[in-house]
Structure 1
């Protein structure tokens, strides 16, 4: 066994789902690990906390799909639509949005889809041993995922996406109104057709999952520091450590997994990445008592209904307003309104609202790569809506990279240089 004196030291910046999974994977590779994040792992201050809960190995459709552009004006003009951009923030977001639209071309979508399925198909395989070790396998439920439509021909409009899923071997069942009631009797007869993906999974409490995996890392020797990283220290021009308000730390490896706050730190290292915070909202209805068992997505109204340990979670919408603008909880209230008529039982007397910052790249896949100038710094951020799905796999890959081992998948789609920027 390697002695503590000779073990390599890794610093992980970020204690969300990607950070805690990476910490556990590095520990398993023999590293000593320090994790830095001003937020408590699994707390409401983290994006991971507010996730809708999907852990879906078959997730392979990017946010930008062919034909998206024609829907954008309608969404922006609809005060209850799934996309909202604060007018004052539009000039800042516009370059990212242009890249986002361009990522929806068929030629790009098919390559992005392949990268997504390569990363996500290993989700259960990566999560289950770690969750078993942490004693929280109850936080992975394999009940499938249901997309419901209010028209009998609803799935016809998703033919391209269904074809992509099938090409990657994702199991799909098409349901009629009667089938929907058989599978999920909590729903009303509003829904006339559906797509059911039986092999998908869900965590009924993403915040608790992050907290339990952080506890596991602590038991294995990781040290968690409740303070933000402000920058890096350098030796002969090479980043060799980090700075905080209280102290500087050096390490053999530094992993940047700080979610929506990652791009600013990467810029300090000379890596310019097109990156936005896709602000997401959810509401928790602890007394909803709908009886819902399967995570259900309203394909027409663009939101997710997830049964959670503490009630019903309604999640969705994308808002572009940056990291500093105050939350607009009217965006959360829209979710409650959209869910009216969805369930046979729906008690909404108690509503808890939340907003978080999804770390978004324009092509819907994360950056998993080494810094171009600072080889001991590894990037693991930008998972957007898919962070919970890809967290454990990303952690394994980063630990392999830190150890000089080959990755289990083709990593070229996740490289920094795919964005075509010259480095500062």
Structure 2
């Protein structure tokens, strides 16, 4: 029930991925990963504002900041170290003493010692509605949607043929952006075996808790986040390595409610709560694959780990440039051939 769980049955299959991860924690590779994440994140807010503005739905994103709180006085040193690292990366961050936290979020426990406030962050009030609005806007602009199970494909001089349960789908150009399920089709079309795994994450939606927090709040010691949304308060976090096919361990979602106890003046209600599990597509250097390969017939965009929603719009802008052969040198860190 801790913030990180590794299913022992999955350990043999996961070991190559973890070995690569450890190698990427050496100073040189680590700094390249930090720089790659920073480049995408710095462009993410503006990209989302442009995308939602283009369909007239800017209100679905709230740039209201987020707060990282700490409870134990001995955690202050770790918080200050984190603040220094964020400032080194030019991330806007302010230290809030306990009284400022109480003024901004009065329902939080008075025992909190303070926190770090990140003003240049925000959240979606309803991620599913964002998807639906983008879907409808795409249809209105002429995009045709086909829902099919794609089992493989092949390249040919005219483009790509995909084998699906609805017959062969032919295209001049194909984008593989299937999250944690992207590796097999990428291998079939490119011949490259990508070390893609999934960090399974859980959340618990509390529909009766609409007024508890004015912005997202993360606990330093408890290692989870609470986000106010249109449906209620969403508690999220944890990482589980168990592969694509293992059934979800929903007790991990319910554990998030137990973690929230003591963070508020009054405990959160779980009446009507719904648990959820998702598959975060993760590569061992923490960077996504964003690339144009096979003579431009195959575009790739997957592996964004915990930052899929954050980096989705800026990735889409980059993919648009790749499709038009206009990709720049800034995309070099995300190339498929780094593996």
Q: Deviations over 1:332-386 (max 9, x none)?
A: 1111100112123422222101111111111221101123x45310110000110
Note the C-alpha offset of 1:133.
2.7
Note the C-alpha offset of 1:159.
4.8
Greater CA drift, 205-214 or 376-385: 205-214
Note the C-alpha offset of 1:122.
1.4
2:220 is aligned, of 280, 286, 299, to: 299
* Partner SS state of residue 166, structure 2: coil
1:305, 1:105 → 2: CA distance?
Answer: 32
1:380 is aligned, of 301, 305, 323, to: 301
1:249, 1:289 → 2: CA distance?
Answer: 45
Note the C-alpha offset of 1:211.
1.4
1:106, 1:204 → 2: CA distance?
Answer: 37
In the alignment, is residue 84 of structure 1 matched against residue 15 of structure 2?
A: no
1:101, 1:195 → 2: CA distance?
Answer: 29
Q: Deviations over 1:200-246 (max 9, x none)?
A: 1111111111111111111111111121222113325x852322111
Aligned twin of 1:358: 280
* Partner SS state of residue 225, structure 1: coil
Matches within 5 A, 1:330-369: 330-345=251-266, 346-369=268-291
Matches within 5 A, 1:173-192: 173-192=94-113
Unaligned residue ranges in structure 1 (runs of 5+): 1-79, 420-424
Note the C-alpha offset of 1:106.
3.3
Q: How many residues align?
A: 337
1:263 is aligned, of 147, 169, 183, to: 183
1:323, 1:166 → 2: CA distance?
Answer: 36
Give TM-score, length-normalised by structure 2: 0.94
1:97 is aligned, of 18, 26, 30, to: 18
Distance 1:173 1:115, change over 3 A: same
1:241 is aligned, of 158, 161, 165, to: 161
1:196, 1:396 → 2: CA distance?
Answer: 29
Q: Deviations over 1:280-333 (max 9, x none)?
A: 111100012452011111111111100010001001111111111111111111
Which has the bigger relative contact order, CA under 8 A and spacing at least 6? 1
Partners of 1:153 and 1:193 within 8 A in 2: no
Partners of 2:67 and 2:117 within 8 A in 1: yes
Partners of 2:159 and 2:171 within 8 A in 1: no
Q: Deviations over 1:23-73 (max 9, x none)?
A: xxxxxxxxxxxxxxxxxxxxxxxxxxxxxxxxxxxxxxxxxxxxxxxxxxx
Distance 1:335 1:233, change over 3 A: same
2:55 is aligned, of 134, 149, 174, to: 134
CA-atom RMSD in angstroms = 1.8
Aligned twin of 2:28: 107
Partners of 2:180 and 2:198 within 8 A in 1: yes
2:265, 2:211 → 1: CA distance?
Answer: 7
Aligned twin of 2:132: 211
Note the C-alpha offset of 1:121.
1.1
